[in-house]
Structure 1
Amino acid sequence: MGKHTRNVLTVNAIKANRKQKMRDGGGLWLVTKGGGRYWILDYRFAGKRREMGLGPLHSVGLAEARQAADDARTLLRSGVDPVEHKHGNAIIEAAKAETDVKNFGEYADAYIDDAVNAGRWRGAKTEAGWRNTLTNHAAPLRPKAIRDISVQDVLSVIRPLWGEKQETAEKLRERIERVLDSAKVEGLRSGENPATWRGNLEHVLHKPDALTNTNNHPALPYSRAPGFMRKLRGIDGMGARALEFTILTATRSGEVRGATWDEIDLDAAMWVIPAKKMKAGKAHRVALSDAAIKLLKATPRFENNKLVFPAVRGRELSDMTLAAVVKRMHAAEVKAGREGWIDPKQLDDDGKPKVATVHGFRSTFRDWAKEISNHPRELAEMALAHAVGDATERAYSRGDGLEKRRKLAADWADYCAKTPQAKITD
């Protein structure tokens, strides 16, 4: 019998023979260990002899053992070690078994961790918002198996917020939807996403625009900007200076709070905000007016701290710091019997005008540019780092109008510095 002879054994021969080791051929053996009989495949890989267990005789019959041996030989011909392949599959199956029962909380946390590690979000504020939403507001979902999350489960956490805290409710729905979409791609769920809005939750929840008057940030009327700026310049503190610079540059609070000295060229009167700090993910050049340059030159620089407007302990100012400046100024006006710094067009639940917000000053700037300046709308939109024109127009546009925006920035600064009238109406 040649050494390459295969399929030597028969079922009856195996039953009748109790030898310690029985050869079937091609490296397949039936061996006796202790009180049991086991199939092994004897082979050589990379010049070394190896053995691969194929299972006990009581659960793996002769035909199954031969098929398993053939499968292993196919791997060998492909240059793959069957033992290592089997070990890899075992790890994959174990991981799959673990994820199959992973609950929503575990998966959501891992989803956020992956996004952070990939640099998907530009600031810690976004990460904190996701973690807060999916930890606190989605708390009832966290212990549930992610494969079992249903429409009723999603509604149970959204409905208490819907119409009361609308923005939070919408963010919660969207984030749950994205987490469940990711789980489906990984094979941990099947079927439709229960958090989808269109064609799904829109049929059981009122449309968002039917519950909220506007999504705009409360903004101070541009006619009151000079009075506000005059009062603001009389307030000491880094928060007040950061707010003043934010208004003069019509930028976002986060961009100013994270601004570093190496981004600013005082001689060129220009501030270049890196793409990673911009909402649109594209670098933005800001034309600095003489007033903005004067403010920066008067701002102290601190050793080993690149931030232009650092907090007391050298860290980045919080968003609440700038907002607190506006609120304190408003409270002082009200205490003195004056109207306060409000947006008369936006009312709260009690029908009272809302206090202007830091972000709302971008709207103040845009309204001023539209209503009383002679500058084109496109320049104001560029100053706000908004996309101008359709996709085709933007594709052919190579400039950002920086030089023209210098005059716009100067005119805005001059307007903010003018002496306010006793009573100004829009």
Structure 2
Amino acid sequence: MARQLNKLSANEVKNAKGSGKIRKLADGGGLTLVIKGESKYWWLRYRFAGNEKTLSLGSYPQVSLADARKARDEAKGLLKQNIDPSAHRQQESTQRASDGENTFRALCEDWYQQKHSAEVTESHAVRNWRRLEIYTFPQLARRPIRSIQPADILHVLDKIVKKGNVETAHRVKTLISLVFRYGVATSRADSDVTRDLTGYLPKTQVKHQHALYKPDEVSRLLKDIQAYQGHFATSAALRISPLVFTRPGDTRQMLWEQINFDKAQWELPSTKNGAPLIVPLSHQAVAILKEIEPVTKHRSLYVFPESVSSTG
């Protein structure tokens, strides 16, 4: 015959009084109300792997009779799956503590320091960190990573789009994706929560700059560069640009330590996309660098220091 369950009533539990000794009222299925003096608390006795164990389910009245029975039934369900309820509770407690430390900001900081800042230029990394600070941290910084859902990301992106910054929304979505993918790789996130948001954001309006493709237009530009009478460093930067064909940002941030005169090349450890780059220097490019070297090298790490201040 199966043992009787749910022997106690709510009134019995409420009115039960203690005595000089510990008093125990069984509800069935291993659930027991233990009364010691003025205190009442729930125990669950069970057997696992041949051993008898006790699991505390909390104090009464904070944990009601109904709550205690629910906890008992959940523990029984774990036992059917050959899971020790005590070990399961400890694992959940450890996971909660881990999640409390594993916030979105903490993961962003780790991703930035360990990966992003080492793969892209400093200025590009700093701009991306500012985007995270401005657009994501107000809502997500303290959230445990595993608690963040696609709807939370949508809320962040919608606020950006409503201000008319569609392109920024796309960039922020990409950054969030990179952070979560890093979290997956380091076992701190279960998945990239942005993967189901593909196609959600409105498309950006691409504005193409006018391209010079006619010989007379290119000729006129080169003549204008040669005729420029502005700051010496700016003039040198303009004159060297058509000779190296790099991004304007890379040219503006050219460092003297990157110039190898012996090999006639400009050695960039990383570019905007994170890859290193070696740019061969023509005789004309070397001549321009030799011309500006006595002017800027002794007072700046940058080849074109005045032009660096305009970097966006």
The one-letter amino acid of 1:123's match is T
- Listed as ranges, the matches of 1:192-203 within 5 Å are 195-197=200-202
- Aligned residue pair count: 271
- Listed as ranges, the matches of 1:345-360 within 5 Å are none
Partner of 1:172: 168
Aligned-partner Cα distance in 2 for 1:13–1:226:
94
Deviations 1:328-380 (A, max 9, x none): xxxxxxxxxxxxxxxxxxxxxxxxxxxxxxxxxxxxxxxxxxxxxxxxxxxxx
Partner of 2:238: 243
What's the offset of the Cα at 1:191? 8.3
Aligned-partner Cα distance in 2 for 1:69–1:226:
80
Partner of 1:38: 41
Do the aligned partners of 1:39 and 1:54 also contact (CA within 8 Å) in 2?
yes
The one-letter amino acid of 2:305's match is A
Aligned-partner Cα distance in 2 for 1:146–1:270:
48
Deviations 1:369-418 (A, max 9, x none): xxxxxxxxxxxxxxxxxxxxxxxxxxxxxxxxxxxxxxxxxxxxxxxxxx
Partner of 2:124: 126
Partner of 2:209: 215
What's the offset of the Cα at 1:237? 3.8
The one-letter amino acid of 2:226's match is R
Aligned-partner Cα distance in 1 for 2:243–2:154:
52
Do the aligned partners of 1:8 and 1:23 also contact (CA within 8 Å) in 2?
no
The one-letter amino acid of 1:269's match is A
Deviations 1:180-202 (A, max 9, x none): 8789x87989986795226xxxx
What's the offset of the Cα at 1:116? 3.0
Partner of 1:87: 93
Aligned-partner Cα distance in 2 for 1:272–1:187:
35
What's the offset of the Cα at 1:241? 2.9
**Alignment CA distance shift 1:77-1:171 (3 Å):** closer
Partner of 2:147: none
TM-score (norm 1): 0.45
What's the offset of the Cα at 1:247? 3.2
What's the offset of the Cα at 1:253? 2.5
**Alignment CA distance shift 1:154-1:246 (3 Å):** closer
**Alignment CA distance shift 1:131-1:116 (3 Å):** closer
Do the aligned partners of 1:245 and 1:295 also contact (CA within 8 Å) in 2?
yes
Aligned-partner Cα distance in 1 for 2:4–2:123:
70
SS class of match (2:266) = strand
The one-letter amino acid of 2:43's match is I
- Listed as ranges, the matches of 1:17-416 within 5 Å are 20-22=22-24, 30-33=33-36, 35-40=38-43, 52-56=55-59, 59-61=64-66, 63-70=69-76, 81-91=87-97, 113=109, 116-117=112-113, 118-119=115-116, 122-127=120-125, 129-130=127-128, 146=152, 149=155, 156-158=162-164, 169-175=165-171, 177-178=173-174, 195-197=200-202, 208=205, 212=207, 214-216=208-210, 221-232=217-228, 237-274=232-269, 276-277=270-271, 279-298=272-291, 299-300=293-294, 302=297, 307-309=301-303, 311=305, 318=308, 320=310
Unaligned runs of 5+ in 2: 47-52, 141-150, 181-189
SS class of match (2:239) = helix
**Alignment CA distance shift 1:261-1:197 (3 Å):** same
The one-letter amino acid of 2:112's match is V
What's the offset of the Cα at 1:31? 1.9
**Alignment CA distance shift 1:178-1:248 (3 Å):** closer
Do the aligned partners of 1:39 and 1:65 also contact (CA within 8 Å) in 2?
no
Identify which of structures 1 and 2 has the higher relative contact order when contacts are C-alpha pairs closer than 8 Å and 6+ apart: 1
**Alignment CA distance shift 1:67-1:27 (3 Å):** same
**Alignment CA distance shift 1:253-1:191 (3 Å):** closer
What's the offset of the Cα at 1:119? 0.8
Aligned-partner Cα distance in 2 for 1:26–1:73:
12
Aligned-partner Cα distance in 2 for 1:271–1:179:
30
Deviations 1:301-340 (A, max 9, x none): 75797x351637xxxx52627x9xxxxxxxxxxxxxxxxx
**Alignment CA distance shift 1:217-1:292 (3 Å):** same
Deviations 1:260-290 (A, max 9, x none): 444333222222323x22x444333322111
Aligned-partner Cα distance in 1 for 2:195–2:221:
55
Unaligned runs of 5+ in 1: 1-5, 44-49, 100-106, 159-168, 199-206, 324-426
SS class of match (2:284) = helix
TM-score (norm 2): 0.57
Give the % identical residues: 19
SS class of match (1:221) = helix
Aligned-partner Cα distance in 2 for 1:42–1:304:
78
What's the offset of the Cα at 1:39? 1.5
Q: What is the root-mean-square deviation of aligned Cα atoms in Å?
A: 5.6
**Alignment CA distance shift 1:268-1:191 (3 Å):** closer
